[in-house]
Structure 1
């Protein structure tokens, strides 16, 4: 049924209801004797017209009545009451009489019939139009706003495959109550008993504001029943329209390892981003693409997506264009190693803010290809940064790494030198240059979790380099949000360090992933392969002399740096033969231990390693 036909049908039904209410009211009180036909006719016509006007004002014809609730009842009450008042006013105005009891009965019948038809349709739809057979009996963990919303959607959707049969909730005041005809059967600790008693086949965690430690506790309780739970989307994704309530998904290791989100200074960020032109390098990567999504929430006027891979830039461009149609998106397929190209892009768009996320980050690969690491991570960063300086970009934010601290790898060394590049430029430029340093990002390209998942899917074994190796982990959205927040806090020259929480043993991560996948270690197995070139047993976020424990914002620190005399750098350049791979690796590591970048450093690096 089309929208216009639906409106017409509802108006015809309501007209019949209004006329019926008037004449039934007159019949019940007066048996229609002694009532002026002209008065009844006029009252009926006025009431019909008034009803349709107020029904339109209160959107009675636009409501989806299969989801009707108290709000819809209130709208009916207001529309009917105002309609009857208008019709009542006509009687003394034109006929010098007023049948109060008749209009009172008419009002009651009007509400009863209008409301009754709507809710009768809902009951018919709920009980006769939906295929209840073969729906999975589902336990909803959480009887609050999220759980109620999910239950309402599942009950109101004919296509839903889940049938809510019970809630589990720790709030004592909800115990033994029924919410939308579904009982609150116990607390989280009772999940095993609830599953057995209600023959539960499926579990959904419906507490969007759940703390990570509580999620871990609930997950463990669910896994004891041998039912792998799912989780409903975040309320912010539901409200923004990105996801539907019923788009539940499996609980991932990222959910359990991530931390509770930090509230962003939206006003401060908005001042830097709203209405501005923003350029993101590496926009197709895992960090770059999430940066784009998060930045769009602050309504920049234009966003330039720059990357080297056409497929990834195409994908993020299509996604953003569809979701944020009010923002202008431009795509640039370009290599940051080309200085003239970077200069041209900057001059074309004149961005206000630049987020530099493009980099080579794979540690073992960069050990074998140090020249490429230098060209991309060092020279590429300099190209983008100098171009930003030339056109007067307001803020330049470089994405760095915890591997830049006391680096033992080429990748870490080049990232530290890149930090030195932007720190030095900040001393000579009107642009605010800052770096943001954080550890491993869960689920990013080349990270350990996608590798472990593939190994588990293949039947194992899962390969871990060393049983004692630890790493810091952060989710992609959290990292991106904190990068944006750090950029808004920038005065220039800082190295912002994100609080990564407690380090996680890689072997524990592997064990959890095996468990999440429904297997045991006996099924999959874990194999230790030994540490790879350039790897460290433990990562650091700050050197001892850099540590500043004070947070400038929740989970954001500023690292201190110290100056190093120029002659120390010249000695390094004169000591090693950079045209060999080992020589280059050695000089990179030595340069990266220094803390201040002199004017000539990059030009000397270029000449010594024959990079143009």
Structure 2
């Protein structure tokens, strides 16, 4: 291996020396027809020896010949040009000092011709080397790349330079007409997206690589259907949030899955820019053992709080989150807090002991049909529990309070939505009372959370079915847990006192499409989908804003703001006012 590298680098040095010699011979032949005096020949040979000596010495000094850059790359050619320029200045300067009659054409033209030959040799080497690699990789799967932008270009580079790539590139598809004649690393644009069928047949492609980072779920679903009809496997470049520094990695390309169907919008949130309200602060997270709370805790830990308090009533959940963040689950530190938010006295002791400065309130009961059966439990946790946390935060002077709400609080028809709406209004009251940024963040279903539709469907598939869907037309908003938590942290930074900030969930997705996608991924075509009908209080289509709520844009493109009318704790607790609070829906009547 070492011998082969040494031979290749020696060959590069010899090539560059030969280019100086060839450039001088060509110049003397064309300019002087080889008719130089003995003195001029001596000057020219001395110039050649000094120039090549400078080139070799400087080249090794700046690591040009030691593998500093890939041969023929822009960085290597740029450094080569600088080395030739310095060598030319030194050798030409010495030539003029030794002999004032030294030929100016030799000093000026020779370095330019030599550099041209050096670069040309490198370009030819790269071209033949790439062709050899492509011929050697002919056994890999033939693939079309849809998207000739940065991501598509990175895929081609990765395939060309990989030792054993899984694909050979047949060409590109791109919908931009200005790229019609573009070639990327020698690969042609063979047509637009509408030409997929013809191009796939012509190239005998087996895989379609989608290199479009902002494709909509509907576009993805349609493209997947077309690919299936052609017998193509659809592979996607991961969303920007899943890349490292925006770079595509060949082993990260993956088959189209349900996460892509539910939305692949890149969330452009630079958490380092908003860390100011968290860095060096005592931060407390309620419901820290849940899906949202635990991810919030993981992201908060990276932002440098002085202390991160994780509060939950479930000791097993606290054990799991401590293990995921710190790599140990001894539960012997005071930042792991076992407490039920329904217990106001215990909660107050915790707040007075630790005096948190920022509170993220994620603790809640969230299962809609369960709360329809046991509405008082939703009332005790989602309303009174939130009131307890708000009051404790107020008592110790917490600077900021972020209440995690839900889209079901908009035009609420069920106990879950009603109780979370009251939690929003209580938060608005304490914002009015303190003048501080006590606010709510409202979003829809999170992909992969415990109890989510994905968990239910996968469990049903493992049991052999059937998959139960409430209605063939029911839709829901979805977002991944990490991006939801990123936006929660962003909302906490930009929210004003009493705001209810609403996260942009993208386009709603039909639940039956999710079920079908999971069945396709599992390969269980024998499992049926059955419809059970909408449950009491359940909507066919969720909304993010109530009727009459005028939402306002914020400085973040994916976060809107709606006003929330405050309500006092006295009005909430007073039993006689419950009918007014819930309008025409009283969960106690379900008892």
TM over 0.5: yes
Matches of 1:16 and 1:344, distance apart in 2: 79
Equivalence for 1:192: 197
User: Alpha carbons of 1:39 and 1:145: their partners in 2 closer, same or farther (altered >3 Å)?
Assistant: closer
Equivalence for 2:87: 83
Per-residue CA distance 1:480-500 (angstroms, 9 max, x = gap): 344334323322122233455
Equivalence for 1:47: 55
Equivalence for 1:360: 365
Matches of 1:6 and 1:390, distance apart in 2: 73
Equivalence for 2:499: 494
Per-residue CA distance 1:1-42 (angstroms, 9 max, x = gap): 79xx99988876665455444555556647996325766554
Equivalence for 2:589: none
**Does the 8 Å contact 2:429/2:567 carry over to 1?**
no
Equivalence for 1:337: 340
Q: Normalized against structure 1, the TM-score is what? A: 0.75
**Does the 8 Å contact 2:130/2:160 carry over to 1?**
no
1:232 Cα offset (Å): 0.4
**Does the 8 Å contact 2:151/2:212 carry over to 1?**
yes
User: Alpha carbons of 1:548 and 1:94: their partners in 2 closer, same or farther (altered >3 Å)?
Assistant: same
**Does the 8 Å contact 1:140/1:166 carry over to 2?**
yes
Matches of 1:536 and 1:87, distance apart in 2: 83
Matches of 1:356 and 1:537, distance apart in 2: 28
Matching residue within 425, 439, 444 for 1:434: 439
1:154 Cα offset (Å): 1.1
Per-residue CA distance 1:51-107 (angstroms, 9 max, x = gap): 345566xx9843244xx5445434433333333233322322355454545554355
> Unaligned regions of 5+ residues in structure 2, if any?
29-33, 328-332, 585-591
Aligned counterparts, 1:211-250, within 5 A: 211-235=216-240, 237-238=242-243, 240=245, 244=249, 246-250=251-255
Matches of 1:473 and 1:496, distance apart in 2: 17
Matching residue within 176, 184, 205 for 1:179: 184
State which drifts further: 510-519 or 78-87: 510-519
1:434 Cα offset (Å): 0.8
**Does the 8 Å contact 1:76/1:115 carry over to 2?**
no
User: Alpha carbons of 1:560 and 1:367: their partners in 2 closer, same or farther (altered >3 Å)?
Assistant: closer
Matches of 2:101 and 2:286, distance apart in 1: 79
Equivalence for 1:525: 528
State which drifts further: 273-282 or 201-210: 273-282
Matches of 2:363 and 2:310, distance apart in 1: 9
Per-residue CA distance 1:323-354 (angstroms, 9 max, x = gap): xxxxxxx9943235266876677678766543
User: Alpha carbons of 1:130 and 1:437: their partners in 2 closer, same or farther (altered >3 Å)?
Assistant: same
1:247 Cα offset (Å): 1.3
**Does the 8 Å contact 2:425/2:565 carry over to 1?**
no
| Aligned alpha-carbon RMSD (Å) | 4.5
SS at match of 1:148: helix
User: Alpha carbons of 1:182 and 1:376: their partners in 2 closer, same or farther (altered >3 Å)?
Assistant: same
Equivalence for 1:556: 560
Matching residue within 321, 331, 355 for 1:313: 321
1:556 Cα offset (Å): 1.3
**Does the 8 Å contact 1:284/1:315 carry over to 2?**
no
SS at match of 2:68: coil
Equivalence for 1:593: 582
1:205 Cα offset (Å): 0.4
User: Alpha carbons of 1:62 and 1:175: their partners in 2 closer, same or farther (altered >3 Å)?
Assistant: same
Matches of 1:62 and 1:549, distance apart in 2: 55
**Does the 8 Å contact 1:80/1:111 carry over to 2?**
no
**Does the 8 Å contact 2:146/2:209 carry over to 1?**
yes
SS at match of 2:441: strand
Equivalence for 1:105: 110
Aligned counterparts, 1:178-577, within 5 A: 178-235=183-240, 237-238=242-243, 240=245, 244=249, 246-258=251-263, 260=265, 269=274, 272=277, 279-283=284-288, 285-288=290-293, 290-291=295-296, 304=308, 306=310, 308=312, 309-310=317-318, 312-314=320-322, 316-317=324-325, 332-337=335-340, 352-366=357-371, 373=378, 376-378=381-383, 380-405=385-410, 409-429=414-434, 431-456=436-461, 459-467=464-472, 469-500=474-505, 503-514=508-519, 523-532=526-535, 535-537=538-540, 539-544=542-547, 547-552=549-554, 554=557, 555-561=559-565, 563=567, 566=570, 569-572=573-576
1:445 Cα offset (Å): 2.5
> Unaligned regions of 5+ residues in structure 1, if any?
320-329, 574-586, 596-612
Matches of 1:509 and 1:161, distance apart in 2: 29
Matches of 2:487 and 2:453, distance apart in 1: 22
Equivalence for 1:35: 42
**Does the 8 Å contact 1:215/1:256 carry over to 2?**
yes
**Does the 8 Å contact 2:206/2:231 carry over to 1?**
no
| Aligned length, in residue pairs | 560
Equivalence for 1:63: 69
Equivalence for 2:132: 127
1:112 Cα offset (Å): 2.9
1:463 Cα offset (Å): 0.8
Per-residue CA distance 1:247-299 (angstroms, 9 max, x = gap): 112323443343856766989846645776655444564434554677689x5
1:203 Cα offset (Å): 1.0
Q: Normalized against structure 2, the TM-score is what? A: 0.77
**Does the 8 Å contact 1:51/1:83 carry over to 2?**
no
User: Alpha carbons of 1:186 and 1:129: their partners in 2 closer, same or farther (altered >3 Å)?
Assistant: closer
Matches of 2:51 and 2:504, distance apart in 1: 71
Matches of 1:158 and 1:17, distance apart in 2: 27
